[in-house]
Amino acid sequence: MTFADPFALALLLTLPPLLLLKRRAGSREAPGRFSNTALLASMRPTWRLRYRWLPTGARALALALLVVALARPQTGQANSELPGQGIDVALALDTSSSMATSFGGEESRLAVAQRVLRDFIEGRKDDRLGLVIFRAEALVLSPLTLDYDALAQVIGRVDQVNLRDGTAIGDGLSEALLLLRESRARSRVAILATDGENNEGDVEPLKAARLAETLGIRVYTIGIIEPSTRQQGKANVDEQALQEMARVTGGRYFPAENEGALAGIYESIDELEKSRVGRPQFGAYNELGAYFAIAALFLLAGELAMRATLWRQAA
């Protein structure tokens, strides 16, 4: 048995002083007057006199039980895991023609991003995930779902969706926010990955980020960067814009120059959100305070009955 509020047990320390005060108050009562007490020497005390402490004992025990009830005693299994509450995540992926460029090897940026996303969703349990792709316009390919197998299949076919070429970052984020708008999850997140600068669409990226801020949705932005462009002094993505989009929503911007970095980014975002929501709690407990309180009430009722009957005079 454990106690939810163990500090309340400190009240038990007040019971001995209270009993002592009551005993001293009783000893100050005027004794009976007898001309010769020798006549009483051979008389044995009656059982009512021997057990005259019972009403006071019942009251003390009742008070102790009430203190225990205030401390909220509990029993349960410490290894019982309470149900976790998942995170709702909208994935926004750039599928423009520049994503067909090699990403540090034979594979394209898009192929690497597809594999990283499939690995990301493979470890999900309670999180709902949705998918948005964008070029010159944005398209929702999957609403928020727990069907990870189906979502992985959709991710594997994003290169087959025919959209007009371009990079509409603001539109992509806006569609992701629409997926999350009605969500009641404790944590709502949009993760946007792109390898270019905004050059299409009806919504400016920062305006979309401000909307996310209003909705209470965090935005994490990922810039898929060609290392050679950095060496030339200007990356192939607008890092300043991506940083500002993440900043205003309480998220973060991550640059990725290879597959390992990209995979690590999604894992980092996962850990960040889990830390915000909190780890699953352990312990399924039954509250026992009511039983202690009921027992205390019965004892108090018994004390009143004893003082009104058997110990009416002796007490």
Question: What does the pLDDT look like over 178-227, one tens digit per residue?
Answer: 999 989 888 899 999 999 999 999 999 999 999 999 999 999 999 999 88
> Could you tell me the pTM of the whole model?
0.63
Q: Which CATH class is domain 88-277?
A: alpha beta
pLDDT in tens, 55-95: 788 888 888 888 888 888 887 655 544 444 578 999 999 99
pLDDT of residue 28: 57
pLDDT of residue 125: 81
The DSSP annotation for the chain comes to -EESSGGGGGGGGGHHHHHHHHHHHHHTSPPP--S-GGGGTTPPPPHHHHTTTHHHHHHHHHHHHHHHHHT-EEEEEEEEEPPP---EEEEEEE-SGGGGSB-SSSSBHHHHHHHHHHHHHHT-SS-EEEEEEESSSEEEEEEEES-HHHHHHHHTTGGG----SS--HHHHHHHHHHHHTT---S-EEEEEEESS---SSSS-HHHHHHHHHHHT-EEEEEEE--HHHHHTTS-SS-HHHHHHHHHHHT--EEEESSHHHHHHHHHHHHHHHHHHH-PPPEEEEEE-HHHHHHHHHHHHHHHHHHHHTTTTTT-
pLDDT of residue 13: 86
Average pLDDT rounded to a whole number, residues 138-148: 95
Q: Is the pLDDT of residue 33 over 70?
A: no
Q: Where in the chain is the domain with CATH 3.40.50.410?
A: 88-277
pLDDT in tens, 7-21: 888 888 888 887 787
